[in-house]
């Protein structure tokens, strides 16, 4: 599990990193809000520990930007500001928990464990790529606060694209993953001719592209002479 610590108090940040590493977490540190946001947007962290009073960009602004970008990474907010209004603002911005300084180390670690367990459980059913997430259990594609349901075929195909992001996938690979070892149309008993196989793949790719575009996903499926690949939307 990888944790991002965004804290301008150097000694506190290093102490938290040391505590987390003793618990077998990997921890990175940022000392201002702008670099903290840039790192938090990278999709490599299972938890963000975020101070409120930060230089360049305060913690509330960082958290708002993170949630507006569709990022669902758990956030544990730290602050010396103990007023109820501050705690409410933090939670309303999208924090998963608000811990007031000075805090008990045991409670801090317990909150970290609880939030990373939640993150791990979500990863079992969800696949995140860029600013969107595919929930394999519900077959729901979400981006920010918007979502759309996919068919089982669409979900299976998108799962492969996400897992192989940037890699060229042939029609045969897409057919085998989405429909099985041979290409059968829904309800058909015989394999489809090659031209119909190609059309079937393109039809489902088109469905996915339209739904992703409607949600504002920052990835798109590109078609080439050799096959298809999932890339950045402006690539």
Domain ranges of the chain: 2-124, 130-232
Cβ neighbour number for residue 130 with a 10 Å cutoff: 20
Respond yes or no on whether the N-terminal peptide bond of residue 191 is cis (omega within 30° of 0). Answer: no
Let me know: does 231 contact 166? Beta carbons within 8 Å.
Answer: yes
Strand partners, 97: 76
* Within this chain, domains 2-124 and 130-232 share the same CATH topology: no
Q: What CATH class is the domain 2-124?
A: alpha beta
Q: What CATH class is the domain 130-232?
A: mainly alpha
For the whole model, what pTM was predicted? Answer: 0.55
Where do the H-state alpha helices sit in the chain? 10-22, 33-40, 59-68, 84-93, 105-125, 152-163, 171-179, 194-215
Per-residue pLDDT of the chain (235 residues; tens, 9 = 90+): 789 999 999 999 999 999 999 999 989 999 999 999 999 988 778 899 999 999 999 999 999 998 888 788 899 999 887 777 878 888 888 888 888 888 999 999 999 998 888 766 555 567 888 899 998 778 899 998 899 999 988 998 998 899 888 889 999 889 888 876 544 444 444 444 567 888 889 999 999 999 999 999 999 999 998 999 999 887 5
Closest CA to 170 of 202, 139, 196, 192: 202
């Amino acid at each position: 599990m990888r944790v991002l610590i965004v804290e301008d108090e150097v000694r506190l940040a290093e102490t938290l990193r040391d505590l987390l590493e003793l618990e077998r977490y990997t921890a990175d540190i940022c000392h201002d809000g702008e670099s903290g946001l840039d790192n938090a947007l990278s999709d490599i962290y299972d938890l963000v520990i975020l101070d409120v009073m930060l230089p360049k960009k305060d913690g509330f602004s960082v958290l708002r930007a993170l949630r507006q970008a569709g990022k669902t990474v758990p956030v544990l907010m730290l602050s010396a500001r103990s007023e109820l209004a501050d705690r409410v603002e933090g939670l309303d911005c999208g924090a998963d928990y608000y811990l007031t300084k000075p805090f008990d180390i045991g409670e801090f670690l317990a909150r970290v464990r609880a939030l990373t367990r939640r993150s791990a459980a979500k990863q079992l059913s969800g696949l995140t790529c860029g600013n969107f997430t595919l929930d394999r259990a519900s077959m729901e594609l979400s981006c920010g606060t918007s979502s759309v349901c996919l068919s089982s075929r669409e979900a299976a195909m998108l799962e492969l694209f996400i897992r192989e992001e940037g890699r060229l996938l042939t029609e045969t690979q897409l057919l085998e993953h989405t429909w099985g070892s041979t290409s059968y149309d829904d309800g058909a008993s015989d394999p489809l001719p090659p031209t119909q196989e190609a059309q079937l793949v393109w039809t489902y790719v088109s469905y996915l592209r339209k739904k992703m575009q409607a949600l504002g996903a920052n990835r798109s499926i590109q078609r080439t002479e050799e096959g298809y690949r999932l890339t950045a939307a402006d690539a």
